[in-house]
Amino acid sequence: MKKWFLLIFLTLLLTSSIASAATDKLYVIEIEGMVTAGTALRVENGVKDASRIGASAILIKLDTPGGLVDATMDIVKSIDNSPIQVITYVSPEGAIAASAGTYILLSGDVAVMSSGTTCGACMPVTYDPMGETKPADNKTINFLTAYMKSIAEEKGRPVDIAERFVAENLAITSNEALEKGVVDMIAEDVPELLDQMNMSGAEIYVQEGSLRDDVIDLLSNPQIAFILLLVGIYGIMFGFMSPGTYVPETIGAICLILALYGLGTFEIGVFGIILIIAAVTLFIAEMLTPTYGILTFGGVICLILGALMLPQEPLLSEEWFRTFRLIVIGIAIASAAFFIFGISAVIRTRRTKPTTGSEGLIGLTCEAYSDIDPVGIVKIKGEIWRAESKDRIKKGEKAKIVERRGLTLILGKVNGECD
């Protein structure tokens, strides 16, 4: 009987363990590309959703070159305050967790990397007007170094390596990270990770993106915010210059509001904003008082310098800066071309001889409708006009309009057909 009771007990225990394993739930949040305010909101909502469904663990998959400081700190805060175990995982092979991504990787309760992945390179940088990146000021470096060290201390990871990530811009591979204790394990894919976590057979829930998160993610990208800012300014400007349709100013106002929201999600340089406004002012002045491109050239220079000095985020990647520089130069050239086209149109208009109204009659030939000596009548463009001439012009002869005085045309003799 004892053997039977022991067998029944072991069977129930095994069945209970299997049932428990089958009910494990893994909630997956994916961070790919630049870390923005939208990314932070997605992680915050993901932690809430995971708690709501009773997930056993949260898996944050990372493949990011960096991002915004405030957004990164919000993500770390969400991980620290999560009531559920958080696994940070750099995956798939070839993925990176650079700059801001390394802060997120080290903040996980369990840190994992796939083979062929890298992390590190967290030195804060600034972007000078010449388009080159350089280390940020000591105050920023010291602050972010201390922040990285505090994360490492809290999670039991090597503080010296964490410090070198920021102070020396150290970057390491997944194998090096495992050897140095930066990560806890290497797993090629999620099933292998679950095996090592004793969660085989867990149900996997992948976070579904929401429109709100995607919109915030888009607006908090400095590149998009810059484009919206220019579109907003140009729209309002052209709306005032050609009133009546309300379309340009409406579009401009919407874009400007969205741009201001986006600019509020990351650090900006005030001097950059001033230069952008100065550029737009020079463009407007060029259109109102053409200087044959002098003001436009100055506007292009101010626009490029202002845009490059606009984002002041130390954890953005060098690749992001290169892309941003190309976007800025492209927009500056397009703006210059547009305003030069506007200048050319203004100059052509000013040089074009009027073809309507009273001034449009000067230089045309007409037929005398009566003898003109010195006063008579002529017909021009189907209209009868009073005319004067120093020379005697007989009825039916041709004459040229040389001047207009009120309702009287001043004529001169000419050979040719009448208009």
- Could you tell me the two tokens for 313? 């985020």
List C-alpha distances in Å: 105 to 79, 151, 179, 235: 10, 10, 16, 43
CA 269 – CA 287 distance, rounded (Å): 28
CA 127 – CA 167 distance, rounded (Å): 18
From the list 78, 82, 91, 99, the catalytic residue is 99
From the list 2, 3, 134, 139, the catalytic residue is 139
- CB 395, CB 370: distance < 8 Å: yes
Specify the DSSP class assigned to residue 64. Answer: B
Specify the DSSP class assigned to residue 63. Answer: E
335 is catalytic: no
List C-alpha distances in Å: 361 to 191, 380, 381: 87, 8, 9
CA 313 – CA 164 distance, rounded (Å): 20
> Strands 375-380 and 365-368: what pairing?
antiparallel
Is omega for the bond preceding 314 within 30 degrees of 0, making it cis? no
Residues 133-153: b if buried by 16+ CB within 10 A, e if exposed:
eeebeeebbebbbebbbebbe
Element (H, E) at 399: strand 398-405
Which stretches does DSSP call E strand in 192-251? Answer: 203-206
Element (H, E) at 258: helix 247-263
Question: CA-based angle 117:118:119, to the nearest 5?
Answer: 140
CA 251 – CA 242 distance, rounded (Å): 14
Nearest to 377 by CA among 402, 364, 395: 395
β-strand partners of 26: 57, 204
- CB 177, CB 184: distance < 8 Å: no
- Give CA torsion, residues 180, 108, 315, 190, to 10 deg: 90
Which stretches does DSSP call E strand in 92-162? Answer: 96-98, 110-113, 118-120, 125-127, 133-135
389 is catalytic: no
Residues acting as catalytic residues: 99, 139
